[in-house]
Amino acid sequence: MDLALLWVLLPLVTVAWGQYGDYEYPYQQYHEYSDDGWVNLNRQGFSYQCPQGQVVVAVRSIFNKKEGSDRQWNYACMPTPQSLGEPTECWWEEINRAGMEWYQTCSNNGLVAGFQSRYFESVLDREWQFYCCRYSKRCPYSCWLTTEYPGHYGEEMDMISYNYDYYMRGAATTFSAVERDRQWKFIMCRMTDYDCEFANV
């Protein structure tokens, strides 16, 4: 009798867990890192752009001390909601130099839709650029920084944005001259549902 009851209740528990147990559940439809794995090999440059009308929602990386203290990277994108419309312009931001700490948001109220990076053997680090897209005259608000990714230098990194109404606008990074690795805090913002007159918030 107990076994029969278990078989009856198991599907109900599974459905309830999917709805309420873990917020990760609804994200699965977009959690599609590249099928071919990493976008780069160690010590090699790369350029990654989301498809038109999508923005970066996940960043994954592994560190390899033996391969120049470098990381391999992978990204996942998600379509923006119809309320934002289509991007009106996209561009590459200024380069953030290797071996330095930096803080950068997309100019012109843009959202991050890609990354470009080049490795420098002399400093065992990378320079970075954001690929940004502007959506009409929408403005960011309620911005915040994520926790550090990775939690410690040299660890695997897996940042996924589970908040559908927050978008990546940039990042703040620290660089360890000892570990030759970087920690990232991503800048996440909501976007207005209406056009605003501020060119760069």
Of residues 128, 137, 136, the one with CA closest to residue 93: 128
Determine the residue type at 176. Answer: S
Distance, in Å, from the CA atom of 59 to the CA atom of 74, rounded to the nearest integer, reads 6
Distance, in Å, from the CA atom of 130 to the CA atom of 111, rounded to the nearest integer, reads 9
Q: Length of the chain in residues, anyone?
A: 201
Question: pTM of the prediction?
Answer: 0.81
Q: What percent of the chain has pLDDT over 70?
A: 81
| Contact criterion met (CB below 8 Å) for 191 and 135 | yes
Non-local CB neighbours of 4 within 8 Å, separated by 6+ positions: none
pLDDT band for position 27 (cuts 50, 70, 90) = very low
Of residues 158, 152, 127, the one with CA closest to residue 57: 158
Count of helices and strands (H, E) across the chain: 1, 11
| Contact criterion met (CB below 8 Å) for 81 and 137 | no
| Bigger pLDDT: 68 vs 3 | 68
> Residue 17 pLDDT > 50, yes or no?
no
Residue 36, pLDDT score: 56
Q: What is the mean pLDDT of the chain?
A: 84
